[in-house]
Structure formats: C-alpha cells, structure tokens
C-alpha cells in the first residue's frame, strides 16, 4: 500500500505553488529584508501650473474613515477600508483586496504652502491640491563701511536662501 498518493495531492500542490508564486510576485528583497512591493493606497503626484496635485485611489473607503495631516514636510494619509462583515476569514480561498486600517506618509514636494492645502474626495478618489510657494527673486544688499574699523570692508552676498559673509581686514 503506497504511503503517498500523488494523484490525490496534486491539486493541493498546484494550489500551493500558485499561492507561493503570487506571494513572491508581491515582495522584493532589500538590504533591510523583505517588504511588500506595493504600497496602499496607490498615489500619483502631478505638477500642474501653480500647484502639485496628489491623487490616491481609495475604493471601498468612506470619507468619515479618512484623516489627512501635515507635519514637518510630510503629508500623512490615514484611513480604513471596511471589513467584509458577512464573510469569515476561514471562507476565503483567495484574498487580494486590502481591508482594515492603513497609513501612508509622503514627503511634500519642495516649496509648497502647507496651510493652503485643499482636499476633496469623490468616487473613491482623494485629490489633494498643494499650491506652490513663490520663490523670491535674488535681491541686492547694500554694502556699508564698518564704523569700528574703517580699514575693514564687509560684503554680504544674498543668493536667495544661502547667505555668505566675508570680512576682509588689510595687513593682518
């Protein structure tokens, strides 16, 4: 009597192989270990005229389950997608759709006006408008003589946000 009946277990082995293949397609090896390749929610960031536009696809999410915060140059989306109340976990034969709580932080593009962000949510798509801050043009700085040491000259160069200072003292 055979200990292992191949024909009875082939279906289960194929199912296992397919499930392992699916799992391996959705992970990647990194220096820090294994992590999921896809992040939820999927987002796009576009540059349009005087603003950036961030869109996030959130099917199955209710507006009341969303939270949006801005702090330290990071935009954080939090939310939850309702569990399927009428289906028990043991009933699933395949579960690829995410449900439950999630959080995603995205660094803001440079030079945006954080307190003028605006968000709308319709048909499962969150749209966030990030107005660009106006970059101030370079300006000339008047150079004055040093009153304490008339032989010294001081020059300051302002090129936007970087300021360098140089003091030249003759015969030192």
pLDDT for res 133: 87
* pTM > 0.75: yes or no: no
Spell out the alpha helix ranges (H) of the chain: 6-25
The answer for residues whose C-beta is within 8 angstroms of residue 68's C-beta and 6 or more apart is 75, 76, 77, 78, 119, 126, 128
Contact 70, 108 (CB under 8 A): yes
Please give the Cα distance from 68 to 89 (Å, whole number).
Answer: 30
pLDDT for res 123: 93
List average pLDDT for each run of 10 residues in the chain, which is 172 residues long: 52 72 61 53 89 91 92 89 73 74 86 90 95 85 81 54 48 48
Structural domains of the chain ordered from first start: 40-131 (2.60.40.790)
């Amino acid at each position: 009597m055979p200990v292992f009946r191949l024909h009875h277990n082939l279906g289960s082995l194929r199912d296992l192989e397919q499930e392992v293949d699916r799992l391996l397609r959705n992970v990647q090896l990194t220096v820090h270990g294994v992590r999921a390749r896809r992040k939820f929610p999927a987002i796009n960031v576009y540059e349009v005229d005087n603003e950036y536009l961030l869109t996030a696809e959130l099917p199955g999410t209710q507006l009341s389950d969303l939270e949006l915060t801005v702090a330290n140059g990071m935009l954080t989306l939090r939310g939850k997608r309702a569990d399927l109340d009428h289906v028990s976990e043991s009933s699933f034969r395949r579960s690829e759709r995410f449900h439950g709580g999630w959080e995603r932080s995205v660094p803001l593009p440079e030079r945006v006006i954080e307190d003028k962000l605006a968000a709308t949510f319709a048909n499962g798509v969150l749209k966030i408008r990030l107005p660009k801050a106006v970059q101030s043009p370079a300006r000339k700085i008047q150079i004055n003589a040093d009153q304490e040491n008339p032989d010294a000259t001081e020059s300051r160069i302002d090129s936007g946000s970087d300021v360098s200072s140089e003091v030249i003292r003759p015969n030192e």
